[in-house]
Amino acid sequence: MSSANADSQPAKTVRSTSIFSGGGIGLGRPTATSSIPEQQASTVKEEPTLSIKDQTTLELAWRKVASNLHSVDKVVATRMESIIPQLKSTSEIEIEVANQNVETFFRENKAIILEGFKQELGSGKLDLVFKQSENTGPQKILSSYEQLEEMGKLNPSLNKLRETMELLLK
């Protein structure tokens, strides 16, 4: 009786999935998989989409991935720690970068970051979208007088105060 049940259920196997590997060091997490008969193998669907429910979950996972990357690639980990990603959809993360060089850096390391997310949140599709900050151009250095004029444009009551106090700056 017990041999009939053993024959009808597929045998479960355990394999280790690499979290990160580099420099001869690999981190792994055991994952349970089941063997799939050949007739069912053809019906295996595309990877499911990772579902990140909210911004807090994303930020926690982002920090955890950065922390795990410290042992593999400190430069990528440090750059990740300086960025707060934004949740664009449940399977899409937007990263705002300062300039083209930073965007190129993240594009080159996109695979290792996504692998870290898959290990942290489970397997599935996830995409990183890059957006350059709007204020990426060079800014003119202003003199004290020019700074005061700019502040007066933003806050007209400052100009009124200057007139009341009869302050003339040049």
CATH no., domain 12-31+48-132:
3.30.300.180
The strand pair at 86-89 and 92-97 is best described as antiparallel
Specify the pTM.
Answer: 0.51
pLDDT per position in the chain (170 positions), as tens? 444 444 555 554 444 444 444 444 444 444 444 444 454 444 545 555 556 778 888 898 899 999 998 888 899 899 999 889 998 887 888 999 888 888 999 999 999 998 888 888 876 788 889 998 876 566 778 888 888 888 889 998 988 888 888 776 65
- Distance CA(156)–CA(133), nearest Å, equals 28
User: In this structure, which amino acid lies at residue 39?
Assistant: Q
CA separation (Å) from 101 to 84, 97, 127?
18, 9, 20
